[in-house]
Amino acid sequence: MNFSFISGEAARASGELLVIPLFEGELGDKSPAPLAGADKALEGKLAAAATQEGFKGKGEQSFVVHTLGRLETERVLLLGLGTPARYTPEILRQAAGRAAKTAQRLKVRTVVFAVPETPDVVDALRAVVEGLELGAYRFERYKSSAKEEKNAPKLTAVRLALPAGVDKTKEHEQTVALGQRVAEATNWARDLVNEPPNVVNPDSLARAAQEMAGDAGLKATVVCRKEIERLKMGMFLGVAQGSANEPKLIHLEYTPKNAKQARQPPVALVGKAITFDSGGLSLKPTDSMVEMKTDMAGSAAVLGAMKVIATLKPPFPVHAFIGACENMPSGTSYRPSDILTARSGKTVEITNTDAEGRLVLGDVLTWACEHKPAVVIDLATLTGACVIALGNYIVGAFGDHDPTVYDVLEAAHTAGEEMWRLPVTDLQKDALRSEVADMKNSGERWGGAINAALFLKEFVGETPWVHLDIAGPSVSPKERGYLGKGGTGVGVRTLVEYVRRRARIEGSEASESTAPTFKPSRGGRSKG
């Protein structure tokens, strides 16, 4: 989309659709300027018609009316934001997503969007841009009808009207650009998740990572089975051995050009990349297997985030580590009762071949920690137990280093991605106790998400670490706001925001000290 700013009243701007977000109670005498101007041009009939149809500005409400030539736009769309007391930028982001879907349905090319008056116009502006870009996303490339609609009108231009009394600044322009980059990277990650498993396999995922890295100016290293064997990643190889598609180990690196900054400990991002998970010999039921092409959503989020991080140029290195493979049943598959030796030297008894993601992640986390990072954040569609606990839209966050967990939760809150902290407690450790090896890969059913996090914790040592279980939010079961049914790209916005916040802190400390260090805040939005 092409975003531009307009001066003057939104109601006087030309376009095909005028979008006016409203809080509850604003449809009346206290109407904001865009609504007052549009209602005046329509001789009071806009507010009257909206009221008659039951529109009150409640969350998720919308109302569309034709202007009959009384305005420079053909239609007006009112969007409900709910009560001002409960407002967050995410509510506006969701509303903007609904606006994009309405524009698509109406085959609109140009939108005038009246940015509402909120406590922070910069946050609101970014929410609008991201919501529109994310809401316009569709994955229909394999539908015959999509080819027929290729030349149909699409939303390509958005004219932004700032609140009354707010003049456009360079910061506003930079915010729009950042919002676009983040949303486009999220949509790119959604494409990776939505592609079928005969298209996205370990090899093609590695090639996508290399192509993106080349475009972004990142260093990319991809190695195959022989090098993985040399690295003694026995758990990773065990999972991969049942598939005809060879495993790939992917390492992307952003390094600052400043020599002193380049020597800083990196931020390590680790993404689960099981490009198809059949469950292996512990075979999944058909209904559970249908969406298992999405079991690489963690890696898609990490790659999408790196796409943006490369443009942010933080004053410290950022590395991405991904182990990509399939979990398939065959005569060469690993078996229940097998004992695998991890890169760390730990031995693991296999009790369930469908608990494979933690095995691959264990070896990759070990490898990542060998690079001596300042912090490790992993994203994984790891457990159904987390979906049972938190549902389809909330990420489970684990970690025992409070400052790091708090900083990730704060970044997620700012980015509009809901996360809830769950415990990593030794009370559950007995569930992974093995009679024949150092540990089991799967314990009892109860506390399954905690058990999986405890397993991963065995491979990070003393490195500050946060595990994000995105099994629920990685795929949306229905349309909701800017989400469509399918891959969501969850995690991209949080990782980008985390790096941005860390870069600001390190930058401010660098200006005050000759030896800058990162000092995470001890406050934060910790739930649960």
Catalytic residues: 284, 358
Separation CA 349–CA 351 (nearest Å): 6
Cα–Cα distance between 434 and 440 in angstroms, integer? 5
Whole-number Å distance between alpha carbons of 264 and 174: 27
DSSP conformation letters of 236-269? HHHHHTT-SSPPEEEEEEE--SSHHHHTSPPEEE
Q: CA 434 to CA 428: how far, in whole Å? A: 14
CA neighbor of 352 nearest in space, from 478, 490, 455: 455
What is the H or E stretch that residue 181 is in? helix 170-194
What is the token pair recorded at 312? Answer: 């942010």
Q: Which of 356, 355, 354, 378 is CA-nearest to residue 366?
A: 378
From CA 473, how far away is CA 381, in angstroms rounded?
9
Dihedral angle, C-alpha 509, 514, 518, 520, nearest 10 °? -50
DSSP, res 430: G
Phi, psi of 209 (to 5 degrees): -65, -40
Residue type (1 letter), 238: G
DSSP notation for 53-74: TT----TT-EEEEE-TTSSSSS
DSSP 491: T
Report the DSSP pairing between strands 465-469 and 395-398. antiparallel
| Beta strand ranges found along 154-254 (DSSP E) | 157-161, 219-223, 248-254
Q: In angstroms, rounded to a whole number, what is the distance separating the alpha carbons of residues 479 and 472?
A: 15
How far is residue 453's CA from residue 3's CA, in Å, rounded to a whole number? 42
Decide: 485 and 479 in contact? Cβ < 8 Å: yes
Distance CA 295, CA 466 (A): 19
| Alpha carbon distance 488, 475 (integer Å) | 6
Phi/psi for 246 (5° steps) reads -70, 145
Nearest to 19 by CA among 103, 107, 89: 103
Q: How many CB atoms lie within 10 A of CB 445?
A: 9
Contacts of 133 (CB under 8 A, 6+ apart): 1, 100, 179, 180, 183, 184, 187
